[in-house]
């Protein structure tokens, strides 16, 4: 198919290492079909669907299903993330080998959102993952420091009477697992880095020659805990929005390559899970359809990152971290391409009801953001163009 690319920016298709698609189990908030549409509209050609579904993705029955359903929809490659343990927060390692060898070819394992594995389980998981050539993605939360916590521990939370989530809850696990990865000779990936201290720890770990990679979310790059003032639970997320100085350190770390990539942590929730009191609301926010615009706003516009850099943090680096050989690299002549075409001069106003996600929990409602995905191409077929997903592949996914 042909794309008119005059005055546009052409990048390799985006790869999201961290997406919650809620299928199986919570199809009232997102499905593989609706999430795939959101991903295609956001410029993605591959997403990694997190394991905290119902049932949990801790067997190849679930992970193979997620992969197959994604292929059936056909808008984006939906790579299943397997759970590290049997059940989230389990005490026993899951059959990672079976999931890795299954049709879904699981390459990343995580117990995202429920990471209470003790250091011994983590050590064994890293060794097992190393032997399989797969990656452990670490949610980086010490649960004994976050019990009851709902917002970043700092002056804003204190003033509003919200229980605080300390930076050390994240940083202590990052440090611990850097050392466990060193001892195991394994790779570890840090999910949603949120503090300036985590940046320093990742920098130190890399300088030691330990195999660590890290991602940052668009919301931790743009937003901070001054947003708490409204008590609007749309701003509740794990890890929490930190202080402006953390966001600034994260932007610099992404530009400098200390943090390797952007990952959305796209986390749809039902309206009733977000409209209640702040403390009772579910954590998480939408991210797939707004990620590029937030990167342009926070890094490209201020001159911290050029378009070549965007290709690295949105496509090449995440593809390399996940071990995808068909994404995020230069395309040979005649080869079907995964591409994202961007209109760098466009601007648009976010309206939750106009997003493809079933859920509406975007923190960017009514904000006008720069740049827009003009088209996305998966293996030579257009999956989204001018804000509309094509029906060419799926035959059924419409807007």
Binding of Zn ion at residue 139 (CB under 5 A)? yes
Query: Which of 184, 195, 186 lies closest to 225 in space, CA to CA?
Result: 195
From the candidates 265, 343, 360, 386, give the one annotated as an active-site residue.
265
- By CB under 5 A, the count of residues binding Zn ion is 4
Helix (H/G/I), strand (E/B), else coil: 260: coil
Question: What, of Zn ion, ligand DOR, none, does residue 237 touch, CB below 5 to 8 Å by kind?
Answer: ligand DOR
Tell me which residue has its CB nearest to Zn ion.
139
Which residue matches tokens 């064994």?
124
* Footprint on residues 122-151 left by ligand DOR (CB under 6 A): 139
β-pair partners for 215 = 261
Binding of Zn ion at residue 242 (CB under 5 A)? no
Among 170, 177, 265, 289, binds Zn ion (CB under 5 A): 265
8 Å CB contact between 389 and 375: no
Closest to ligand DOR by CB, 20 vs 189, is 20
* Footprint on residues 102-121 left by Zn ion (CB under 5 A): 112-113
Q: How far is the CB of 175 from Zn ion (least distance, A)?
A: 18
Please say if 177 is a catalytic residue: no
Sole window of 133-141, 249-257, 332-340, 357-365 interacting with Zn ion (rule: CB under 5 A):
133-141
Enclosing H/E stretch for 344: strand 339-349
- By CB under 6 A, the count of residues binding ligand DOR is 11
Cα pseudo-dihedral 227, 137, 315, 345, rounded to 10? 0
Which residue matches tokens 């590029």?
292
Binding of ligand DOR at residue 237 (CB under 6 A)? yes
Give all strands of the β-sheet with 77-82 in edge-to-edge order: 14-19, 44-49, 77-82, 108-109, 135-138, 188-190, 212-216, 261-262
Q: How far is the CB of 34 from Zn ion (least distance, A)?
A: 18
Give the pairing of strands 261-262 and 388-389. unpaired
Enclosing H/E stretch for 15: strand 14-19
Q: Which residues bind ligand DOR (CB under 6 A)?
A: 20, 52, 112-113, 139, 237-238, 265, 267, 283-284
- Annotated catalytic residues are 265
């Amino acid at each position: 198919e042909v794309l008119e690319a005059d005055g546009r920016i052409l990048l390799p298709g985006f790869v999201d290492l961290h997406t919650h698609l809620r299928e199986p189990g919570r199809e009232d908030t997102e499905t593989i079909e609706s999430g795939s549409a959101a991903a295609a509209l956001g410029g993605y050609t591959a997403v990694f669907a997190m394991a905290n579904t119902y049932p949990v993705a801790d067997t190849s029955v679930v992970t193979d299903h997620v992969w197959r359903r994604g292929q059936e929809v056909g808008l984006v490659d939906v790579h299943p993330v397997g759970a590290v343990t049997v059940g989230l927060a389990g005490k026993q390692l899951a059959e990672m080998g079976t999931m890795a060898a299954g049709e879904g070819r699981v390459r990343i394992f995580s117990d995202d959102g429920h990471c209470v594995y003790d250091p011994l389980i983590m050590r064994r998981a890293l060794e097992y993952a190393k032997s399989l050539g797969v990656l452990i993605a670490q949610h980086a939360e010490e649960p004994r420091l976050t019990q009851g916590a709902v917002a970043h521990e700092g002056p804003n939370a204190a003033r509003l009477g919200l229980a605080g989530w300390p930076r050390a809850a994240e940083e202590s696990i990052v440090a611990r697992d850097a050392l466990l990865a060193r001892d195991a000779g394994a790779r570890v990936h840090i999910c949603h880095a949120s503090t300036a201290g985590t940046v320093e720890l990742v920098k130190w770990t890399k300088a030691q020659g330990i195999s660590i990679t890290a991602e940052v979310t668009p919301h931790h790059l743009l937003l901070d805990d001054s947003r708490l003032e409204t008590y609007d639970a749309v701003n509740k997320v794990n890890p929490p929005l930190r202080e402006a100085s953390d966001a600034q350190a994260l932007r610099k770390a992404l530009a400098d390559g200390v943090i390797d990539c952007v990952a959305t942590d796209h986390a749809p929730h039902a309206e009733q899970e977000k409209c209640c009191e702040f403390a009772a609301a579910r954590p998480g926010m939408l991210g797939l359809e707004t990620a590029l615009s937030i990167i342009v706003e926070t890094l490209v516009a201020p001159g911290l990152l050029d378009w070549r850099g965007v290709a690295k943090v949105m496509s090449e680096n995440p593809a390399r971290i996940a071990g995808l050989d068909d994404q995020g690299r230069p395309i040979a002549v005649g080869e079907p391409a995964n591409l994202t075409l961007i209109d760098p001069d466009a601007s648009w106003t976010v309206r939750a009801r106009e997003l493809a996600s079933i859920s509406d929990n975007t923190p960017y409602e009514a904000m006008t953001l720069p740049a827009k995905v003009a088209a996305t191409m998966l293996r030579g077929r257009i999956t989204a163009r001018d804000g509309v997903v094509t029906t060419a592949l799926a035959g059924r996914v419409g807007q």
